Structure 1
Amino acid sequence: MKVHLVDGTFELFRCFHAAPPAEAEGRQVGAVRGLLHTLAKLLRREDVSHVAVAFDGALDRRDDPGPPGQQGLALAATRALGLVVWPMVRRYEADDALATGAALYADQPGVEQVVLCTADKDLAQCVRADQVVLWDRMRGRRYDEPAVRERWGVGPASIPDYLALRGDAADGLPGLPGWGAKGAATLLARYERLEAIPPEASEWEVSVRGAERLARTLRERWHEALLYRDLIRLARDVPLPHSLAELEWPGAPRGELERFCARIGEETLLEGIPRWEQGA
């Protein structure tokens, strides 16, 4: 079997920008409608049987028309589909839940592959051979370990070090001045970890443009680089409450989903549900 772990927060933001705006009960629901459709599309795939959807902490502010204002409703929508939901609180984020789930389920008997459904490059650090892969559904790209190396120039274990140097605008991390993707990848393809990069450019065994300047910046901003890496590294100790068997999708509970769709004025989703829960 394959285990699909979905970044619900990313999907909600994607749907907010892609789905038509809509209003129900005096609040915006367009992103939630889009989320229901993209999750239903996932469930229509023959290789999808075990699924969990992770979200960052829910705000559910009715006065916020953006994704944060629809997140509480998004959790309810996902549950109405009959899917396992992991809402993160306190120090954990959705990415941490996905990383923990990948580590937890990948080696369990019967699991062929764990598929991390997200476009967030942070999750590339969790890729392991062909056993744990990243699936960017928006662009239709899958990343196993060789694909990660081809795309970013480093192995999965070096992704936090790589992003610490070059930065990650999506997470608001600036990286170190002057460091770009090519220089970071070249150094880390050789040394793998920040600590293994020699402090003097004259000691580097690979050629990098502007080496002296980059080495000086790394020395002067060493603690910043370590801080950025710590922020990018994902936790793998989230106390997830579900066993592998509990991730199996039983089908959508018809009554609950019909009521939710009526609540948000969604009229077309039900015809696209591939299976209904027996007795629901």
Structure 2
Amino acid sequence: MSHRLLLDTSSLTYRAYFALPTSIKDPNGTPVNAVRGYLDMTSRLITDLNPDQVVHVFDDDWRPAPRVEAYAGYKSTRRDDPEDLPGQFDVVRTVLAAFGQECVIAQGWEADDAIGALCAHAGNGEVIDVVTGDRDLLQLVRDGDGSGGAVVRVLFTVRGVSDLARFDEAAVQAKYGVPASRYVDFATLRGDPSDGLPGVKGVGEKTARTLVNAYPDLHAMVRDAASHPPRLAAALRDSLAYLVAMQQVVPVRTDVEIQRTSDGRDDARLDELAEQHNLEGPIRRLREALGA
């Protein structure tokens, strides 16, 4: 049984930036805290999980045009990255390339969508662990039923990049009170302020959970609005256009085209990068985790 580790590199590098002090710098005084955090997290995960394959997945566009066209407010409130972060993404890519690690994007889409496509096309019986700081990926969780497809688990960063919560179908049900297969509807109703998605007015997690468990889909909830308390009924009717738009925003795409890069390992280049970016420790630890 193959075990693949999919790392949401964009999300994890971003979290690593805020988890470690910017006083961690290269010899030229440029912060490398996010790089160090991501590489060390990768080393720990490989050591702890011993996967057969590791794939690093990047955003190509963190605000894909189809999602913005469906709902203009999507991620519109996100602040710009700190000025010393974008360059660290480039260093992460460069180091991973020198290691010969597989890096993946889906042109015009988010890392979430590339991960969704990788999971959808995984082999029967394959076990996939997705490591991310993005709750949206909980919709991909599945235990497998023996009839085909992969087992997908999500390891969610709870604090910084070192504390992880593992979600299988039972854990999603226990945490949110809905099946993983209905997480999209739950998230649509509840909203996600970090993505600029307000949800249905007056609907929090408790009400969203109740509705998801009472109806097979969002359309049924709206059709049966008359049976809800007046305030909720009005909120659902008033949110009809929003709910329709969210069908193009909240679901992770699984049909996007994947672009992979994976060059041969270059140990001489790794030595150069270790010295250039003050990454001797992280690069050594990743070498050890990879068994070479």
Same-fold call, TM cutoff 0.5: yes
1:50-89 equivalences under 5 Å are: 50-57=53-60, 65-89=83-107
Output the CA distance in 1 between the equivalents of 2:49 and 2:267: 20
Q: Decide which of 36, 39, 46 is 2:39's aligned counterpart.
A: 36
How big is each residue's C-alpha offset from its partner over 1:139-190, in whole Å with a ceiling of 9 and x where there is no partner? 3321111211111121222222211111112322111210100101111012
Shift of 1:51: 1.1
1:159-198 equivalences under 5 Å are: 159-198=183-222
Q: Structure 2: state its 5+ residue gaps.
A: 63-80, 145-150
Q: 1:214 to 1:6 in 2, by over 3 A?
A: same
TM-score norm. by structure 1 comes to 0.82
Q: 1:3 to 1:156 in 2, by over 3 A?
A: same
Contact 2:14 2:34 in 1 (8 A): yes
Q: 1:67 to 1:193 in 2, by over 3 A?
A: farther
Shift of 1:112: 3.7
**Structure 2 SS opposite 1:114:** strand
User: Does residue 23 in structure 1 map to residue 47 in structure 2?
Assistant: no
**Structure 1 SS opposite 2:280:** coil
Shift of 1:236: 0.7
What is the identity, as a one-letter code, of the residue corresponding to 1:274?
Answer: E
**Structure 2 SS opposite 1:105:** coil
Q: 1:58 to 1:232 in 2, by over 3 A?
A: closer
Q: 1:119 to 1:192 in 2, by over 3 A?
A: farther
Q: 1:30 to 1:266 in 2, by over 3 A?
A: same
Output the CA distance in 1 between the equivalents of 2:245 and 2:258: 27
What is the identity, as a one-letter code, of the residue corresponding to 2:288?
Answer: P
Q: 1:153 to 1:6 in 2, by over 3 A?
A: same
**Structure 1 SS opposite 2:201:** coil
Shift of 1:46: 5.1
Q: 1:120 to 1:56 in 2, by over 3 A?
A: same
Aligned to 1:274: 288
**Structure 2 SS opposite 1:23:** coil
Between 7-16 and 31-40, report the one with greater CA deviation.
31-40
Number of equivalenced pairs: 260
How big is each residue's C-alpha offset from its partner over 1:58-110, in whole Å with a ceiling of 9 and x where there is no partner? 89xxx9534334222222222233311113432x1100011111111142xxx
Aligned to 2:71: none
Shift of 1:235: 0.9
Contact 2:7 2:131 in 1 (8 A): yes
Contact 2:6 2:57 in 1 (8 A): yes
Output the CA distance in 1 between the equivalents of 2:59 and 2:254: 16
TM-score norm. by structure 2 comes to 0.79
What is the identity, as a one-letter code, of the residue corresponding to 1:28?
Answer: P
Output the CA distance in 1 between the equivalents of 2:172 and 2:85: 29
Output the CA distance in 2 between the equivalents of 1:49 and 1:170: 34
Aligned to 2:130: 116
What is the identity, as a one-letter code, of the residue corresponding to 2:59?
Answer: D
What is the identity, as a one-letter code, of the residue corresponding to 1:218?
Answer: L
Aligned to 2:120: 103
Aligned to 1:237: 255
| Cα RMSD (Å) | 2.8
**Structure 2 SS opposite 1:179:** coil
Q: Structure 1: state its 5+ residue gaps.
A: 205-210
What is the identity, as a one-letter code, of the residue corresponding to 1:193?
Answer: D
Q: 1:270 to 1:139 in 2, by over 3 A?
A: closer
The structure whose RCO (Cα within 8 Å, separation 6+) is larger is 2
Q: Percent identity?
A: 28
How big is each residue's C-alpha offset from its partner over 1:237-265, in whole Å with a ceiling of 9 and x where there is no partner? 222245xxx99x99x64223222211211
